[in-house]
Amino acid sequence: MSVVKEAFGKTHDGKDVAAFVFENTNGVKVKIINYGATLVSVEVPNREGKRDDVVLGFEDMAGYESSKNPYFGACCGRYANRIARGKFTLDGVEYSLAVNNGPNALHGGWVGFDKQIWDAERVGNAVTMSLTSPAGEEGYPGTLKVNITYRLTDENELRIEYVAETDQRTVINLTNHSYFNLAGSGTILGHLAQINADRYTVVDGDSIPTGELREVAGTEMDFRASKMIGAEIGQTVGGYDHNYCINSAVEGELTFAAKVVDPESGRTLECLTTEPGIQLYSGNFLDHIQGKGGMIYNKQEGFCLETQHYPNSPNQPEFPSTELAPGDTYTQTCVYRFGIEE
């Protein structure tokens, strides 16, 4: 296992950005930058041994800072996904957040964790990135200190471990927003997906949960048995962008959440998490984005598996709580395990 630090350029205001390149004994190679604690690339072999990059992203900082960046590979926070009308009440106080997605708050606001430079330290075969979010940033209460540790194992697992503490009661929901394409290019509609969930959170026209947890059985939302992502996508409104309620999720314990297979290359991706939910997003809004190697990313050429608490949980008291109090510690582990099927 090796971890090498290298330069990744500068931000538009002249700040240096570092990259960390992991490589294991199986030839799996991962690159992460400290801008947005962003996963830039994952190179894995297919069944013939040909290595391709299976993560969408950009060549340089100009791409990651551009307005066309749809959160490629980034850590989203303080609150990943949506909060209705950008408002929530905690201990009798109403907080107003940045509204940056129609009428709602999305992925932490205008300058969320995805658009900040994190402190980064290599610790053995891992890299820990740290960020302090001051009280009031994007409208959230409390000073929040966050650490994310990235680790690549010789079992081809990319482990992402989150830890956070606050000095005032607040809400938190972190995720990694990588877009995967196990073929390396082209549509992901032929990928086979399985999701360990009997229910999902029904949403309204603004993608805000109504509070109903609906059974997937007999609907286009059913991925309990492996099926092509594109098999029933035409029955959705624009594609998949839904939170699934993971079966048998136990707080703090890793649970199998999803598996995706590309039949052509044989590449597989399993996702395990300690979170109660996972968002399947089928890249519905990718629109002629120029990415790495001169590639142009278009609609449904990448999929996301975003491990998380449910969207809008601060306004849905029956959902698993996203509140964090002083003296308590927020923890989350997400594992992306890559493999090959013959």
Catalytic residues: 177, 306
Q: 3-state class of 233 per DSSP? A: helix
- Using the CB atoms, write b or e for 142-175: b if 16+ within 10 Å: bbbebbbbbbbbeebbbbbbbbbbbeeebbbbbb
Alpha helices in 30-148 (DSSP H): 61-64
Encoded tokens for 121? 């330290």
Residue 240 has what DSSP assignment? -
Residue 219 has what DSSP assignment? S
Rounded to 5, what percent of the chain is helix, strand, coil? Answer: 5, 45, 45
d(CA 317, CA 307): 20
d(CA 53, CA 241): 24
Q: Which residue has the tokens 């090796």?
A: 2
The secondary structure of 76-102 as a DSSP string is E-SB-SEEGGGEEEETTEEEE----BT
d(CA 18, CA 119): 10
Q: How many other β-carbons are positioned within 10 Å of the β-carbon of residue 109? A: 23
Q: How far does the chain reach from its first CA to its final CA, in angstroms?
A: 25
Say which amino acid occupies 225.
A
Q: 3-state class of 239 per DSSP? A: coil
User: Do the Cβ atoms of 68 and 289 come closer than 8 Å?
Assistant: yes
